[in-house]
Protein backbone atom coordinates (compact mmCIF):
# COMPACT_ATOMS: atom_id res chain seq x y z
CA UNK A 1 0.00 0.00 0.00
CA UNK A 2 3.00 2.31 0.38
CA UNK A 3 3.16 3.00 -3.38
CA UNK A 4 -0.57 3.60 -3.56
CA UNK A 5 -0.50 5.92 -0.54
CA UNK A 6 2.06 8.10 -2.31
CA UNK A 7 0.43 7.86 -5.74
CA UNK A 8 -3.08 8.72 -4.59
CA UNK A 9 -1.77 11.95 -3.07
CA UNK A 10 -0.08 12.81 -6.38
CA UNK A 11 -3.24 12.00 -8.35
CA UNK A 12 -5.36 14.10 -6.00
CA UNK A 13 -2.96 17.02 -6.43
CA UNK A 14 -2.91 16.71 -10.21
CA UNK A 15 -6.71 16.46 -10.39
CA UNK A 16 -6.87 19.80 -8.58
CA UNK A 17 -3.98 21.57 -10.32
CA UNK A 18 -4.01 20.01 -13.83
CA UNK A 19 -7.37 18.26 -14.28
CA UNK A 20 -7.19 18.41 -18.08
CA UNK A 21 -3.94 16.43 -18.02
CA UNK A 22 -5.60 13.35 -16.53
CA UNK A 23 -7.70 11.29 -18.95
CA UNK A 24 -7.86 8.12 -16.87
CA UNK A 25 -6.56 7.10 -13.45
CA UNK A 26 -7.46 5.01 -10.38
CA UNK A 27 -9.81 6.76 -7.98
CA UNK A 28 -7.72 8.19 -5.14
CA UNK A 29 -10.76 7.97 -2.90
CA UNK A 30 -10.76 4.16 -2.90
CA UNK A 31 -8.03 1.99 -1.34
CA UNK A 32 -9.57 -1.41 -2.06
CA UNK A 33 -7.43 -3.76 -4.17
CA UNK A 34 -4.82 -1.15 -5.01
CA UNK A 35 -1.76 -3.03 -6.19
CA UNK A 36 0.82 -1.82 -8.72
CA UNK A 37 1.23 -1.34 -11.58
CA UNK A 38 -1.35 1.45 -11.79
CA UNK A 39 -2.63 2.56 -15.21
CA UNK A 40 -2.67 6.32 -15.79
CA UNK A 41 -3.73 7.92 -19.07
CA UNK A 42 -2.56 11.46 -19.73
CA UNK A 43 -3.41 14.06 -22.36
CA UNK A 44 -1.13 14.17 -25.43
CA UNK A 45 0.45 17.45 -24.29
CA UNK A 46 1.24 16.16 -20.79
CA UNK A 47 4.50 14.30 -21.48
CA UNK A 48 6.32 16.35 -18.84
CA UNK A 49 3.78 15.23 -16.23
CA UNK A 50 4.31 11.64 -17.34
CA UNK A 51 8.06 12.09 -16.95
CA UNK A 52 7.57 13.33 -13.37
CA UNK A 53 5.35 10.33 -12.55
CA UNK A 54 7.80 7.90 -14.11
CA UNK A 55 10.73 9.44 -12.23
CA UNK A 56 8.88 9.02 -8.96
CA UNK A 57 7.12 5.68 -9.45
CA UNK A 58 8.98 3.88 -12.26
CA UNK A 59 7.49 0.49 -13.11
CA UNK A 60 4.75 0.87 -10.51
CA UNK A 61 2.81 2.95 -13.04
CA UNK A 62 1.78 2.10 -16.60
CA UNK A 63 1.66 5.45 -18.36
CA UNK A 64 -0.05 6.36 -21.63
CA UNK A 65 0.37 9.83 -23.10
CA UNK A 66 -2.29 10.46 -25.73
CA UNK A 67 -2.25 7.30 -27.84
CA UNK A 68 1.29 6.13 -27.03
CA UNK A 69 3.02 4.54 -24.05
CA UNK A 70 5.48 6.36 -21.84
CA UNK A 71 8.45 6.27 -21.79
CA UNK A 72 9.05 6.32 -25.56
CA UNK A 73 9.82 2.99 -27.15
CA UNK A 74 7.57 0.85 -24.98
CA UNK A 75 5.51 -1.78 -26.81
CA UNK A 76 1.93 -0.83 -27.62
CA UNK A 77 -1.08 -1.85 -29.66
CA UNK A 78 -1.53 0.19 -32.86
CA UNK A 79 -4.47 2.58 -32.83
CA UNK A 80 -7.68 1.14 -34.33
CA UNK A 81 -7.59 4.09 -36.74
CA UNK A 82 -4.49 2.57 -38.36
CA UNK A 83 -6.39 -0.54 -39.42
CA UNK A 84 -8.07 -0.89 -42.80
CA UNK A 85 -9.66 2.37 -43.85
CA UNK A 86 -13.18 2.57 -45.22
CA UNK A 87 -13.84 3.08 -48.91
CA UNK A 88 -14.10 6.71 -50.07
CA UNK A 89 -17.43 8.48 -50.04
CA UNK A 90 -19.04 8.37 -53.50
CA UNK A 91 -19.11 12.00 -54.71
CA UNK A 92 -22.29 11.18 -56.60
CA UNK A 93 -23.94 10.25 -53.31
CA UNK A 94 -22.68 12.98 -51.00
CA UNK A 95 -20.11 15.72 -50.54
CA UNK A 96 -18.38 16.69 -47.30
CA UNK A 97 -16.53 19.83 -46.30
CA UNK A 98 -15.47 21.58 -43.13
CA UNK A 99 -17.70 24.24 -41.62
CA UNK A 100 -14.96 26.85 -41.88
CA UNK A 101 -11.16 26.64 -41.39
CA UNK A 102 -9.93 24.06 -38.87
CA UNK A 103 -7.12 25.33 -36.62
CA UNK A 104 -6.03 23.55 -33.43
CA UNK A 105 -3.08 23.63 -31.02
CA UNK A 106 -0.74 20.65 -31.13
CA UNK A 107 -1.82 18.04 -28.59
CA UNK A 108 -5.25 19.58 -28.09
CA UNK A 109 -8.76 18.83 -29.38
CA UNK A 110 -10.97 20.92 -31.66
CA UNK A 111 -14.75 20.65 -31.74
CA UNK A 112 -15.70 21.65 -35.24
CA UNK A 113 -18.35 20.82 -37.83
CA UNK A 114 -18.65 18.73 -40.98
CA UNK A 115 -21.08 19.86 -43.68
CA UNK A 116 -22.59 16.85 -45.46
CA UNK A 117 -24.54 17.54 -48.66
CA UNK A 118 -26.79 14.81 -50.03
CA UNK A 119 -26.41 14.56 -53.80
CA UNK A 120 -28.56 11.45 -54.14
CA UNK A 121 -32.30 10.99 -54.47
CA UNK A 122 -32.57 9.12 -51.17
CA UNK A 123 -32.27 10.30 -47.59
CA UNK A 124 -28.85 9.71 -46.03
CA UNK A 125 -28.65 8.77 -42.35
CA UNK A 126 -25.35 9.17 -40.53
CA UNK A 127 -24.92 7.33 -37.23
CA UNK A 128 -22.78 9.08 -34.59
CA UNK A 129 -22.23 9.22 -30.84
CA UNK A 130 -23.16 12.89 -31.01
CA UNK A 131 -20.18 13.71 -33.22
CA UNK A 132 -17.98 12.15 -35.88
CA UNK A 133 -14.39 11.56 -34.80
CA UNK A 134 -11.75 12.54 -37.34
CA UNK A 135 -8.20 11.34 -37.92
CA UNK A 136 -5.23 13.45 -38.93
CA UNK A 137 -3.44 12.42 -42.12
CA UNK A 138 -0.33 13.40 -44.02
CA UNK A 139 -1.86 15.31 -46.97
CA UNK A 140 0.32 13.92 -49.75
CA UNK A 141 0.33 10.24 -48.76
CA UNK A 142 -2.98 10.23 -46.83
CA UNK A 143 -1.23 8.18 -44.14
CA UNK A 144 -3.05 8.37 -40.81
CA UNK A 145 -0.71 9.94 -38.24
CA UNK A 146 -2.94 11.00 -35.36
CA UNK A 147 -6.34 11.72 -33.96
CA UNK A 148 -8.40 11.71 -30.79
CA UNK A 149 -7.21 9.78 -27.73
CA UNK A 150 -9.52 9.41 -24.77
CA UNK A 151 -12.87 8.03 -23.68
CA UNK A 152 -16.09 8.95 -25.43
CA UNK A 153 -19.73 8.41 -24.58
CA UNK A 154 -21.54 6.04 -26.91
CA UNK A 155 -25.13 7.23 -27.42
CA UNK A 156 -26.61 6.63 -30.86
CA UNK A 157 -27.36 9.99 -32.45
CA UNK A 158 -28.59 9.92 -36.04
CA UNK A 159 -28.30 12.79 -38.49
CA UNK A 160 -30.68 12.64 -41.44
CA UNK A 161 -29.78 14.48 -44.64
CA UNK A 162 -32.63 14.90 -47.10
CA UNK A 163 -31.99 14.76 -50.87
CA UNK A 164 -30.41 18.02 -51.96
CA UNK A 165 -29.99 19.23 -48.38
CA UNK A 166 -26.88 19.98 -46.33
CA UNK A 167 -26.59 19.15 -42.64
CA UNK A 168 -23.90 20.13 -40.14
CA UNK A 169 -22.58 17.18 -38.14
CA UNK A 170 -20.39 17.88 -35.08
CA UNK A 171 -16.78 16.87 -35.77
CA UNK A 172 -14.19 15.97 -33.13
CA UNK A 173 -10.57 16.56 -34.21
CA UNK A 174 -7.84 15.36 -31.87
CA UNK A 175 -4.10 15.76 -32.37
CA UNK A 176 -2.62 12.90 -30.38
CA UNK A 177 0.13 11.28 -32.43
CA UNK A 178 -0.28 7.65 -33.50
CA UNK A 179 3.29 7.60 -34.84
CA UNK A 180 6.10 7.33 -32.27
CA UNK A 181 8.46 9.11 -34.65
CA UNK A 182 6.35 12.27 -34.39
CA UNK A 183 6.37 12.31 -30.59
CA UNK A 184 3.23 12.37 -28.51
CA UNK A 185 1.44 15.12 -30.45
CA UNK A 186 0.96 15.88 -34.13
CA UNK A 187 3.46 18.72 -34.60
CA UNK A 188 2.61 22.18 -35.87
CA UNK A 189 2.14 22.44 -39.62
CA UNK A 190 -0.26 21.87 -42.48
CA UNK A 191 -2.01 18.52 -42.21
CA UNK A 192 -5.16 16.88 -43.49
CA UNK A 193 -8.19 15.57 -41.68
CA UNK A 194 -10.75 12.97 -42.68
CA UNK A 195 -13.72 11.31 -41.03
CA UNK A 196 -15.45 8.00 -41.55
CA UNK A 197 -19.25 8.16 -41.83
CA UNK A 198 -21.44 5.23 -40.82
CA UNK A 199 -24.40 5.38 -43.19
CA UNK A 200 -27.15 3.78 -41.14
CA UNK A 201 -27.94 2.61 -37.61
CA UNK A 202 -27.06 -1.08 -38.09
CA UNK A 203 -23.61 -2.45 -37.15
CA UNK A 204 -23.46 -3.75 -40.73
CA UNK A 205 -24.17 -0.35 -42.29
CA UNK A 206 -21.65 0.81 -44.91
CA UNK A 207 -18.84 3.07 -43.76
CA UNK A 208 -17.41 5.71 -46.09
CA UNK A 209 -14.56 8.15 -45.50
CA UNK A 210 -14.65 11.78 -46.49
CA UNK A 211 -12.06 13.43 -48.73
CA UNK A 212 -8.95 14.74 -46.99
CA UNK A 213 -9.76 18.25 -45.77
CA UNK A 214 -7.27 20.94 -44.64
CA UNK A 215 -6.14 21.17 -41.02
CA UNK A 216 -3.72 23.64 -39.48
CA UNK A 217 -1.94 22.59 -36.29
CA UNK A 218 -0.31 25.42 -34.33
CA UNK A 219 2.30 25.43 -31.58
Residues 108 and 148 in one domain: yes
Q: Tell me if 76 is assigned to some domain.
A: no
Residues 52 and 94 in one domain: no
Residue that is last in its domain, among 10, 37, 70: 70
Residue 96 sits in a domain of what CATH number? Answer: 2.60.40.2360
DSSP helix/strand/coil, 160: strand
Q: How many domains does the chain have?
A: 2
Q: Tell me if 58 is assigned to some domain.
A: yes
Q: Residue 184 is part of which domain span?
A: 89-218
Residues 34 and 111 in one domain: no
The predicted-structure confidence for 76-111, as pLDDT tens digits, reads as follows 666 666 567 899 999 999 999 999 999 999 999 999
Residues 52 and 114 in one domain: no
The predicted-structure confidence for 136-189, as pLDDT tens digits, reads as follows 999 999 999 999 998 888 889 999 999 999 999 999 999 999 999 999 999 999
Beta strands per DSSP E along the chain: 22-24, 38-42, 61-65, 68-70, 87-88, 94-98, 103-105, 109-118, 124-128, 132-137, 144-147, 157-161, 166-174, 176-177, 189-198, 207-209, 213-218
Residues 110 and 196 in one domain: yes
* Angstrom distance (rounded) from CA 94 to CA 58: 51
Taking alpha carbons only, the member of 140, 134, 133, 107 closest to residue 20 is: 107
* Angstrom distance (rounded) from CA 7 to CA 57: 8
> β-strand 68-70 against 61-65: which pairing, if any?
antiparallel
Q: Tell me if 42 is assigned to some domain.
A: yes
The predicted-structure confidence for 20-29, as pLDDT tens digits, reads as follows 999 999 999 9
Residues 63 and 99 in one domain: no
Amino acid sequence: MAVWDDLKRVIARLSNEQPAALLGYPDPGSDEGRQPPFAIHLAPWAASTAADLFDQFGGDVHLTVGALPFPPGAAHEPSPALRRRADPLDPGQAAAELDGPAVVRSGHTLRHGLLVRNRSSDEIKVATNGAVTAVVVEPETEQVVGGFAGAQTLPLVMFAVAPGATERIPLLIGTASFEPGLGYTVPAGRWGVEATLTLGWSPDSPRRRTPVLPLTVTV
